């Protein structure tokens, strides 16, 4: 059995963060959930109020020899507006802010270097404000939030389009595939 590691990324609406990673080679699993706060047993009804300090996030189990962390980071940046400190697209509030939650020193260093390179050489005119934070307990979201893009493909696509995410990503990453 191949070695696996875990990565955690907050990128606004977790519905929109699953599909780009879900079917990549070396991805063993992806779970929508909540992390970053101090409340135990986070649930959507409390997290969505923005008062728990939790963020919507995805936890990805991956095979580093097939899909290395650096590649996960590259794909992550192509899913978000890392210059927006108030949330993501039409989802506003601290629960929708971007963050990379590192599991160990190697992930911290790779995330910091990746963010610095994006800030220096990326397509953005504003500074990259995505935080790089130590991983905290991760609480899986309720079952109806898991793999939302497969369970509700029309609602998923509508969310991506109406939020402004789809247009932003297409415009920002024209030369790259992000799904």
7, 8, 10, 13: which is the annotated catalytic residue? 13
- Does residue 16 carry a catalytic annotation? no
Helix (H) or strand (E) holding 97: none
The alpha carbon torsion through 72, 62, 47, 96 (nearest 10 deg) reads 10
Helix (H) or strand (E) holding 65: none
Of 4, 5, 8, 6, nearest to 132 (Cα)? Answer: 8
Give the burial class of 8: count Cβ atoms within 10 A of its Cβ; 0-12 exposed, 13-18 middle, 19 or more buried: buried
Hey, which bits of 11-157 come out as E strands? Answer: 27-35, 55-62, 87-88, 91-92, 99-102, 131-134, 138-140
Positions annotated as catalytic residues are: 13
């Amino acid at each position: 059995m191949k070695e696996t590691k875990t990565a955690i990324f907050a990128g606004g609406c977790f519905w929109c963060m699953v599909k780009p990673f879900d079917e990549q080679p070396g991805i063993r699993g992806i779970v929508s959930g909540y992390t970053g706060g101090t409340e135990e047993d986070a649930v959507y009804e409390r997290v969505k109020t923005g008062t728990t300090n939790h963020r919507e996030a995805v936890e990805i189990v991956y095979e580093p020899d097939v899909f290395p962390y650096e590649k996960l980071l590259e794909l992550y940046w192509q899913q978000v507006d890392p210059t927006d400190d108030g949330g993501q697209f039409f989802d506003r509030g601290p629960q929708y802010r971007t963050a990379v939650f590192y599991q160990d020193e190697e992930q911290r260093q790779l995330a910091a270097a990746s963010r610095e390179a994006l800030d220096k050489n990326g397509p953005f005119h504003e500074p990259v404000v995505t935080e790089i934070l130590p991983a905290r307990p991760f609480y899986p979201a309720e079952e109806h939030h898991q793999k939302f893009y497969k369970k509700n493909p029309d609602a998923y696509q509508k969310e991506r389009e109406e939020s402004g995410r789809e247009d932003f990503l297409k415009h920002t990453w024209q030369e790259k595939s992000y799904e």
